[in-house]
A = this chain, B = another copy of it.
């Protein structure tokens, strides 16, 4: 719950990178709901997560972002994200809602899993 509250505070402040650097284990595993053909929905390690986040931010114009939670259960917590974004490549603007599930071990986030419908 404490880690979840910190994460939500970082995200609300727009400091997603700081959230990862502060709260993620170096061997964090990140699991997307899907990947492009030939791609791997799993990323391993803090550097890969930072790079994935950087790529996502670069590819989208973010008009609005809301975060709700944390919703805890044992050593995990869920967060609901709501984005209002334009995909730069297509110029398409859309809303994207997703649920993120985080697993905490020894005060570090060791796993993040994202749940969302594929476009």
Q: What is A's interface to B at a CB cutoff of 8 Å? A: 1, 31-33, 68-74, 76-78, 80, 97-99, 101, 113-118
List of B residues within 8 angstroms of A69 by Cβ: 99
- Which are the 4 A-B pairs with shortest beta-carbon distances? A71-B115, A78-B99, A33-B73, A78-B115
- Nearest Cβ on chain B to A57's Cβ, whole angstroms: 21
Secondary structure call for the A interface: strand
Copies per complex? 2
Contact B71 A97 (CB under 8 A): yes
Asked if B72 contacts A117 (CB within 8 A), the reply is yes
Residues of B within 8 A of A68 (CB): 97
What are 14 A-B contacts defined by CB distance under 8 Å?
Answer: A1-B117, A33-B71, A69-B99, A70-B117, A71-B99, A71-B115, A71-B117, A73-B114, A73-B115, A76-B115, A78-B78, A78-B101, A80-B80, A101-B101
**A73 engages B117 (CB within 8 Å):** no
